Amino acid sequence: MKVDDSNIIHIDSGQPVGMFDSGVGGLTVLKALQERLPGEDILYLGDTARLPYGSKSPQTVSRYAVQAASALVRRGVKMLVVACNTASAVALDAIRAAFPGLSVVGVVEPGARAACAASHNGIIAVVATEGTIAGGAYHRAIERIRPDALIKGQACPLFVSLAEEGWVDGPIAEAVAARYLEPLFADSGGENPDSLVLGCTHFPLLEPAIRTVLGPQVRIVDSAATTAEVVDSLLQEFNMLADPGQTGTAHFLTTDDVERFVRTGTRFLGRDIARERVELVDL
How does DSSP assign 21-38, residue by residue?
Answer: ESSSTTHHHHHHHHHH-T
Active-site position among 84, 95, 137, 156: 84
Check: CB of residue 37 under 8 Å from CB of residue 228.
Answer: yes
Of 3.40.50.2300, 3.40.50.1860, 3.20.20.70, 3.40.50.720, which CATH number belongs to 2-106+225-280?
Answer: 3.40.50.1860
Helix axes 108-118, 137-145, angle to 10 degrees: 50
pLDDT digits (tens, 9 = 90+) for 104-126: 999 999 999 999 999 999 999 99
Domains 2-106+225-280 and 109-222 belong to one CATH topology: yes
Whether the predicted model's global pTM rises above the 0.85 cut: yes
Q: How confident is the model at residue 11 (pLDDT cuts 50, 70, 90)?
A: confident
CA atoms within 13 A on the CB side of 172: 9
- Mark whether 156 is an active-site residue: no
Cα-based distances in Å from 240 to 70, 202, 229: 21, 29, 14
C-alpha torsion sign, points 276, 253, 223, 206: positive
> What is the rounded CA–CA span in Å between residue 175 and residue 181?
10
Scanning 146-223, the segments in alpha helix (DSSP H) are 157-165, 171-181, 207-214
Domain locations in the chain as residue ranges: 2-106+225-280, 109-222
pLDDT (mean) for 66-94: 95
pLDDT digits (tens, 9 = 90+) for 34-45: 999 999 999 999
Active-site position among 200, 221, 250, 253: 200
Of 3.40.50.1860, 3.40.800.20, 3.60.130.10, 3.10.20.600, which CATH number belongs to 109-222?
Answer: 3.40.50.1860
